[in-house]
Amino acid sequence: MYSRKIKPAVFDELSKAKVASDEYRPEDAFKHLENAHVLGQHSTWLHTKAHLLMLHWAIKNKDFREARGQLLRIVGAATKTVFGLVPEGNTGGSNVSPFTPMPIPQALAVKIHKARVKR
């Protein structure tokens, strides 16, 4: 249920990431991918999708450290999310431990709350 409700917010961030990428703003693109990750990390499908797109970003930008980290995170997202094994708020990039919870920015927290209580 949460997946269906949060999906529009996740896809909005993914759309913004594509626009930023098309405009050659890789840092902005990755920030939107991180936002999509935070929003979708409680849905196996959306969580894994965010990591796949982060891997694509890493390859496109020749960031092989990020690509290596995303390969591990894809496996984790695909196999651990269903069990609730996600660190709340973690942005999903290889610059942070995949086990570290992080504060959720207020704008994203509002979207998450709305998706959890929306009827």
Domain boundaries, given as residue ranges, for the chain: 2-117
| pTM (2 d.p.) | 0.96
Supply the pLDDT for residue 118.
62
Which SS3 state, helix, strand or coil, does residue 39 take?
Answer: helix
The string of DSSP letters for 58-99 reads: HHHTT-HHHHHHHHHHHHHHHHHGGGT---TT---STTS-TT
pLDDT band at 1; cut points 50, 70, 90: confident
Alpha-carbon distance of 37 to 112, in angstroms, equals 12
Average pLDDT over residues 14-26: 98
Confidence check: pLDDT of 51 > 70: yes
Supply the pLDDT for residue 60.
98
Rounded to 10 degrees, what is the CA torsion of 44, 81, 55, 97? 160
Alpha-carbon distance of 43 to 76, in angstroms, equals 13
What does the pLDDT look like over 77-118, one tens digit per residue?
999 999 999 999 999 999 999 999 999 999 999 999 999 986
Confidence check: pLDDT of 2 > 90: no
More confident residue, 118 or 70: 70
Confidence check: pLDDT of 119 > 90: no
